[in-house]
Amino acid sequence: MTRRQLHLNAFLMNTGHHEASWRLPESDPYAHVDLAHYVRLARIAERGTFDSLFLADGPQLWNSVQQRPAGALEPITLLTALATATEHIGLIATASTSYNSPYNLARKFATLDHLSGGRAGWNIVTTAGAEAARNFGLDAEPAHAERYARAAEFLDVALKLWDSWEDDAIVADKEAGVWGDDAKIHPPRHQGRYFSVEGALNVPRTPQGYPLLVQAGSSEDGKRFAARYAEAVFTAQQTIEDARAFYADLKARTVAAGRDADHIKVLPGIVPVIGSTEAEALANERLLEDHIVHAHGVDRLERLLQLAPGSLELDGPLPADLPPESAIEGAKSRYTLVVELARRDRLTVRQLIGRLGGGRGHLTFAGTPEQVADTIELWFESGAADGFNIMPAVLPSGLEAFVDHVVPILRARGLLRTEYGSARRTLRERYGLPRPANQHVIIPALV
C-alpha cells in the first residue's frame, strides 16, 4: 500500500516572511520587484518537488513604507512569467472578489491555465480593510457577511464562464470550413444581486476545466464558503490541538455540503527557521527578532485589534476589554488567533510582536532539519493537515535550506515524491483532485 503523501506549497513573500528579513546582510531590499528573484525561488521550489507556489496580494499599499519592502507586482502577471521559467509546479495567485469583476478575472485565470499547461490556482479572498475600499470609491469596507455573499455569487458566475465552452466546442474542420460548434457555447446570461453577466467567456475551456480553488479565511463565514467551494485551504493554527479541531470541522462541513472530504486539502502555514543544530536555529531566530522595529509592530497590532493609536503599552499585556470576534468586520479569524495566542501564553505586547514577526500568526518553528521534519510528520499523521504552506522566514536562503535539508528527510520517510515524473500533470492532478465536469454536459449513468 502506498503511503499517503504530503502536499507542499511555497508561500513566497519578497525577502521572506519575517518582517526583519530585509535588514539581513544577505537580503536584497529591491527583490520584491525583480523577476529574476522570483524565477530563482520558483526553480528552488520546483527542485524540491513542491505541488505549488503562492503569491499573496491586496489592492492597497500595506502599512507604512518604513517597515519593510512595500508594494507587490500584480500576481497573475508575475505567475504568467514564471510559467515560462518552470515546468511542473502549480502557480496560485490571490485575487479579490470584492474589487474585481467576474468576467475579467475569469479570463485572466483561464489565460494563465492555458499558458501554464494547467497549473493555475486562485486564492479567493474577500479583502478586509477600509484602505482597499477607499481605493475603489467606497467610504468603508463592506460588512463581513456581505463580502462573503458577494464572493459566493462571484464564484458562481466565474464557474459559469469557465463552463461556457464545452471541451469539444472547437471542431477545427478545415475541409468543411467549420472551426467551432455554436451549440456547445453557453452564455451565462446571469442576473444576480451583485453581478449581471451576459456573454460566454472569450477564452476556450482550459486544461483543468477551471483553476484550483483555494481559500484562506477561517471565520464561520470563511469555513462555510470553503466547505462549498474550496479545494485547498491555507490556514493558521498555533497548536496541533487547534489544527486537528479545524481539520475535522472543515472536513465534516465539506461532507455536509455534499462533497468528498478528500477533495479539500488543508494546509496550515509553518515558518521554519533552520539550523544545523538547535542552538544555531534559535540563534538565527534571535537574530531576526533583534532586528524588529517594535514601533511598527505596535502600529500593526493596534490596526488589527481596532484600537486607537497609543492604546498599547510595549511591556504590558493586551487590554482586557477587547471586543469579541463578532464585532470585527475585518480579518475575523486572524484577530481571534492573535488575541488567543497572547492570552494563552500570557505575552506582553513586545513578546507578542516577536511571536508575530515571523508569520503573522502562523506556526513559527526553529530547529534542525530533523526537528522540522518531525513536526511536519506529526501534524500530517495526527489528522491536523494534508500538507503545509511553507513560509520561509528569509528568502531565498530559507527556502534553499528547506529544500536541501528537510525535503530529503521527508522523501526518505516516504512522505514526499522524489520526482515529478516525465508526464506533464495539472495542478489538480498534483493535489489528487478530479477535473470538474462541465455543468452543461450530461454524463450518462452507468448501466
Provide the CATH number for the domain around residue 184. 3.20.20.30
Better-predicted residue by pLDDT, 235 or 320:
235
Q: pTM for this structure?
A: 0.88
Let me know: does 111 contact 148? Beta carbons within 8 Å: no
Distance of CA 21 to the CA centre of its chain: 20
In this predicted structure, the answer to whether residue 305 has a pLDDT above a threshold of 90 is no
**So what's the pLDDT on residue 191?**
97
Round to whole Å and give the CA distance between 63 and 15. Answer: 17
d(Cα 415, Cα 408) in Å, to the nearest integer? Answer: 10
Percent of the chain whose predicted confidence (pLDDT) is above 70: 94
Residue 308 falls inside a structural domain: yes
The model's pLDDT over 313-324, given as tens digits with 9 standing for 90+, comes to 877 788 777 777
Residue 142: the pLDDT is 84
Note whether 108 and 14 are same-domain residues: yes
Cell numbers placing 34: 525583480
- Indicate whether 305 and 392 sit together in one domain: no
Calculate mean pLDDT across residues 387-413.
97
CA nearest neighbour of 307 among 298, 317, 295: 298
Whether 173 contacts 166, CB under 8 Å: no
Q: How far is CA 54 from CA 14, 159, 160, 220, 269, in A?
A: 12, 21, 25, 24, 12
167 in the same domain as 40: yes
> Burial of 314 by CB count in 10 Å (0-12 exposed, 13-18 middle, 19+ buried)?
middle
| 177 and 212 belong to one structural domain | yes
356, 374, 406 - which closes a domain: 356
Residue 438 lies in a domain: no
Is position 370 within any domain? yes
Q: φ, ψ for residue 361 (rounded to 5)? A: 115, -15
DSSP, collapsed to helix, strand or coil, labels residue 232 as strand
At 240-254, the pLDDT tens digits run 999 999 999 999 999
pLDDT of 414 > 80? The answer is yes
Question: Is the pLDDT higher at 139 or at 44?
Answer: 44
The partner residues of 180 in beta bridges, in order of sequence, read: 170
pLDDT > 90? residue 140:
no
- 220 neighbors 336 (Cβ within 8 angstroms): no
Q: Is pLDDT above 90 for 238?
A: no
Q: Which of 157, 32, 165 is nearest to 100 (CA)?
A: 157
Q: What is the mean pLDDT of residues 96-120?
A: 97
Chain centroid, CA 49 distance in Å = 18
Percentage of the chain beyond pLDDT 90 is 65
State whether 212 and 333 are in the same domain.
Answer: no
Give yes or no for residue 357 having a pLDDT over 70. Answer: no
Tell me the three cell numbers of residue 100: 474585481
Cell readout for 235 is 490556514
Residue 88 is assigned to a structural domain of this protein? yes
Q: Do 90 and 47 fall into the same domain?
A: yes
- The answer to whether residue 313 sits within a structural domain is yes
Mean pLDDT of 1-12: 88
For residues 164 and 265, state if they share a domain.
Answer: yes
Which residue in this structure is represented by grid cell 508526464?
Answer: 423
With cut-offs at 50, 70 and 90, classify the pLDDT of residue 236. confident
Query: Grid coordinates 518553528 are at which residue?
Result: 365
**76 belongs to a structural domain:** yes
23-37, 90-104, 208-222, 283-297, range with the lowest pLDDT: 283-297
> What is the spatial distance between Cα 434 and Cα 447, in angstroms, rounded to a whole number?
22
Strand partners, 96: 125
pLDDT at 416 over 70: yes
Q: Which run of H or E residues covers position 54?
A: strand 52-55
Q: What is the largest CA-CA distance in the chain?
A: 80
pLDDT at 71 over 90: no
Mean pLDDT of all residues in 142-163: 94
Q: How many domains does the chain have?
A: 2
pLDDT tens per residue across span 191-231? 999 999 999 999 999 999 999 999 987 788 889 999 999 99
Can you tell me whether residue 137 is helix, strand or coil?
A: coil
In this structure, the number of other CB atoms found within 10 A of the CB of residue 302 comes to 16
The model's confidence at residue 325, banded by pLDDT at 50, 70 and 90, is low
Other CB atoms within a 10 A radius of the CB of residue 432 amount to 15
> Which pLDDT tens digit goes with each residue over 161-185?
999 999 999 999 999 999 999 999 9
How high is the pLDDT of residue 118? 98
Residue 444 binned pLDDT confidence (cut-offs 50, 70, 90): low
CB-CB neighbours of 385 under 10 Å: 26
What is the per-residue burial (b if ≥16 Cβ within 10 Å, else e) of 121-141? bbbbbbbbbebbbeeeeeeeb
Whether residues 367 and 341 fall in one domain: no
98 and 203 both lie in a single domain: yes
Segment 407-436 mean pLDDT = 94
Examine residue 277 and state whether it is found in any structural domain, yes or no: no
Task: Evaluate if residue 380 carries a pLDDT over 80.
Answer: yes
Query: Within this chain, do residues 215 and 330 fall inside the same structural domain, yes or no?
Result: no
Task: Tell whether 333 and 370 lie within a shared domain.
Answer: no
Helix (H) or strand (E) holding 7: strand 7-11
Mean pLDDT of the chain: 90
Range of the domain at 216: 7-271+363-430
For residue 237, is pLDDT > 70? yes
The answer to whether residue 120 sits within a structural domain is yes
- Residue 361: per-residue pLDDT: 64
User: What's residue 55's pLDDT?
Assistant: 96
Q: Which helix (H) or strand (E) holds 122?
A: strand 120-125
How confident is the model over 276-296, as a mean pLDDT?
86
Averaged pLDDT, 45-56: 97
Tell me, yes or no, whether 224 and 115 share the same domain. yes
- Return d(Cα 97, Cα 261) in angstroms, integer: 25
